[in-house]
A = this chain, B = another copy of it.
């Protein structure tokens, strides 16, 4: 049974990796749609979201099949439950990328972002894509050190997010309240996307070591 578990768990993590890739691609295109007010790209993200939902259902079915294997040991049970939680994280990442695409579509043909904050969003987009890619990588390698490094990218994201608020709040913001509302929500979407990637990293540490990240760092 143990070898069946190991094989099926690797397959589940493979599907989760694919899902991360889809979420990363969605955020990449949404960012492009946002920065360039590109309606076709925004529509493409919105239209392809269903693919992630389909994979999500497949991943959950695989996780249920693993639970139904005869008497998985306690650590294995925890890894399988982490699998369900990772599905939920990636679903949310996909939903956040979708939100970005929808803002781009809603404001088209205008740009949602004032020129002044484009650089922030280009960089937040780059970080989000890197984090989705790193989450995919550690789901496959199950390397706990690499999984923990997702936290560093998130720190960079949080810094950008804070600076963005400084631009909004403290300077002579000349773009009006409507643009400020868009920028506020968009900033939050990128920040939450990154938070979920960090959570995936934390769950991989647990799958790989049986320890929480805090316990693992202490050793």
Contacts and interface: CB of A to CB of B under 8 A. Distances in A.
A78 B78 CA distance: 15
Contacts of A6: none
B74 A68 contact: yes
Interface stretch (A31-39, A80-88, A137-145): A80-88
Interface residues of A, number: 24
A168 interface: yes
B188 A169 contact: no
A185 interface: yes
Nearest to A174: B177
Interface string A142-177: 000000000000000000000001001100010001
Interface string A58-78: 000001100110110010011
Contacts of A84: 81, 84-85
Contact of A169 (B68, B173, B177): B177
A103 B63 CA distance: 39
Contact of A64 (B64, B68, B78, B165): B78
Contacts of A168: 177-178, 181
A64 B88 contact: no
Contacts of A74: 64, 68
B71 A77 contact: no
A101 interface: no
A188 B187 CA distance: 13
A173 B64 CA distance: 51
A63 B67 CA distance: 13
A112 to B, nearest CB: 13
